[in-house]
Chain A
Amino acid sequence: ETGVTQTPRHLVMGMTNKKSLKCEQHLGHNAMYWYKQSAKKPLELMFVYSLEERVENNSVPSRFSPECPNSSHLFLHLHTLQPEDSALYLCASSQESKGVSTDTQYFGPGTRLTVL
């Protein structure tokens, strides 16, 4: 495997389900990201794990919960989602230096999530 991989590629879930999205990067990077892409809205950064620190967008609802067990793996745990959470969820990774964000983010293929 090369680059950034995401599983599953497609997911349909009910509002009461619990599911997880998985992302793995094979680039040796030290930062990983979750983005949400809804129809007709700009790409929205949800969470960042960079240099072992987690940063989040305060507007992200608590029904989304990230987990980053190591620098190569990133999860997004989903529970009691709403239909408006249906979107493409993109994972990205980059190589960061302390205090200075310079490097390019490389993206995975995304998980297309549909909440019924």
Chain B
Amino acid sequence: AQKVTQAQTEISVVEKEDVTLDCVYETRDTTYYLFWYKQPPSGELVFLIRRNSFDEQNEISGRYSWNFQKSTSSFNFTITASQVVDSAVYFCALRITLGSQGNLIFGKGTKLSVKP
């Protein structure tokens, strides 16, 4: 079975703090994709990153960075020097590649509040 766990329901930080959002996934498939999406109060899910299961290189994009570790089935997301505009719900998602008919398995999300 496929499953995504985001154990942190809510996180509150003060601006300029670093924050890490955890994501643990379960799948028996060897080929899969992992995603992070951001959902601001407006509701739209904004795509942030996609990683495939064969690429364990960490990625950095501005203040955002992602740490993919297959050994622990984790795909954690770190925001450096957080800003108020980072306040949103963040979703981690898993997609297997064969016969999945487009099914993204989402975690329950982590609500991040960044206070000024």
Contacts and interface: CB of A to CB of B under 8 A. Distances in A.
Contacts of B50: 104
A45 B37 CA distance: 16
Contacts of B109: 42
Interface stretch (A58-66, A73-81, A106-114): A106-114
Contacts of B47: 104-107
Interface residues of B, number: 25
Interface string B24-60: 0000000001010100001111110010000000000
A93 to B, nearest CB: 10
B104 to A, nearest CB: 6
Chain A: interface size category: 20 to 34
B62 interface: no
B108 to A, nearest CB: 5
Interface string A46-80: 00101000010000000000000000000000000
Nearest to B107: A42
B17 to A, nearest CB: 27
Interface string B84-115: 00000001000111111111101111000000
Contact of A101 (B37, B102, B106, B107): B102
Contact of B45 (A41, A90, A99): A90
Given A102-B97, A110-B43, 13 more contacts: A40-B108, A42-B107, A88-B43, A90-B43, A90-B45, A94-B102, A101-B98, A101-B100, A101-B103, A104-B35, A106-B47, A107-B44, A112-B43
6 contacts: A33-B102, A48-B102, A100-B97, A101-B96, A101-B99, A109-B44
CB-CB nearest 4 A-B residue pairs? A107-B45, A109-B44, A110-B43, A43-B106
Interface of A: 31, 33, 40-43, 45, 48, 50, 55, 88, 90, 92, 94, 96, 99-102, 104-110, 112
